[in-house]
Amino acid sequence: MSAGTELLKQLAREVALSPQEQALATGTRGRNLFIGIPKETSALENRVPLTPASVAVLVGRGNDVTVERGVGNAVQFQDNDYTEAGAVLAESAEEVFKANIILKVAPPSPAEIELLRPKQILISALQMTTQPKDTLRRMMEKKVTAVAWDFIKDREGIYPVIRAMGEIAGNASIQIAAEYLSTDKGGPGLMLGGISGVAPAEVVVIGAGTVGEFAVRAALGLGASVKVYDKSIYRLRRLQTDLGQRIWTSVIQPDELRRALQQADVAIGALRPEHGRTPMVVNEDMVREMKSGSVVVDVSIDRGGCFETSRPTDLREPVFKKFGVVHYCVPNIASRVPRTASYALTNIFTPLLLGMSDVGGFEELIKRDLGLRHGVYLYNGALTSEVLSEAFRLPYKDLDILLAAF
């Protein structure tokens, strides 16, 4: 990159971050938000982005919220809970998509993309690896602004939604493994913790990030014997420190990992890449050598999975067997406990939307909030993500320069 381009980007960034004269002069809140929450159409996606209590807070601050009928049924939030909180109840997705901001959990379906309008703001998961290839191009043609909530950062540089969903997925992965070890699910009839005189189950966790940490906590809490693998010695040390106890850890070495998997009753795939696909660290031969009836829970499947034998499943048919090993590969594990997950999401989205309202809308907030800006991958139809640009071979534009132009 040339020095001139770097200078232009720096100047654009300074302009975008500079205080806005109008906001300083009035000293008041900017325009109110018009938020639409459609009912999720993805297979067994039961989470909702805002609870009725959060809707009440937003409406109480002068914002408008429209929800589609039945949006919260799966988590026992009734339509009258939302209307009593001040939301307007819509009979169809078409009515909801009249809002300026569309807030969803799952990525938009092809039918929902057709409902989007130019300059409309969409906040949802990205998960482009699970979407049809023309999804991104069609959204660009619609000239929308799209924010991936899984790429939004907080002030500490942490991905808050990923962290929250990772905590849920880590805990749930051990609960799932325990179920499929029981004879009720056709398993060998093992209890994770064992009892006096009977050895506990062997659990291998691949990945020492948030998912790995909470899988380890849950497994240890049930009395299982746990081994943890990661590519980063730093993450392994941090895990030891956070747990406050010594556990068996190792950097990922194929031969060592192979031996551990041969003895494992449960293997949890918890690796998450910074960019692109999850590293596939467990090949087919390693899985073939695992015990018959052992359980693999590949939490990393939303980014490709870290087991070569993994393929995406859903909550209707969550498992399949390969070489006698049970594979659980549901990308949205958190939707298995949708009420807990919905409260976790609303705790993140509500302050974000209130901040947006306070400064005068989305446009003003992305000029000030670098964490929110990190989640923007389309701006008025222009692709602003270099990662997606490389993946789909599409041109992209620097968001700082685009913001400075407006």
Lowest average pLDDT, out of 35-49, 80-94, 122-136, 198-212, goes to 122-136
| Span 38-61, average pLDDT | 93
Whether 161 has a pLDDT exceeding 80, the answer reads yes
Structure tokens at 285: 């031969």
The residue among 52 and 126 whose pLDDT is bigger is 52
Look up residue 71 and give its two tokens: 């949006």
For the whole model, what pTM was predicted?
0.83
pLDDT score for 150: 87
pLDDT digits (tens, 9 = 90+) for 15-30: 344 444 333 332 334 4
- Indicate whether 154 pLDDT > 80: yes
The Cα–Cα gap between 17 and 30 comes to 17
- Confidence at residue 17, expressed as pLDDT on a 0 to 100 scale: 44
Q: In the predicted model, is pLDDT for residue 90 greater than 90?
A: yes
User: Residues 112-125: pLDDT tens digits?
Assistant: 999 999 999 999 99
For 194, residues 6+ apart whose C-beta sits below 8 A from its C-beta are 200, 201, 223
- The pLDDT confidence band at residue 4, using thresholds 50, 70 and 90, is very low
Distance CA 384, CA 221 (A): 43
φ, ψ at 109 (rounded to 5°): -80, 165
The stretch 319-340 carries a mean pLDDT of 94
What is the mean pLDDT of the segment spanning 159-186? 94
Q: Mind listing the domains of the chain with CATH numbers?
A: 3-151+338-405 (3.40.50.720), 165-336 (3.40.50.720)
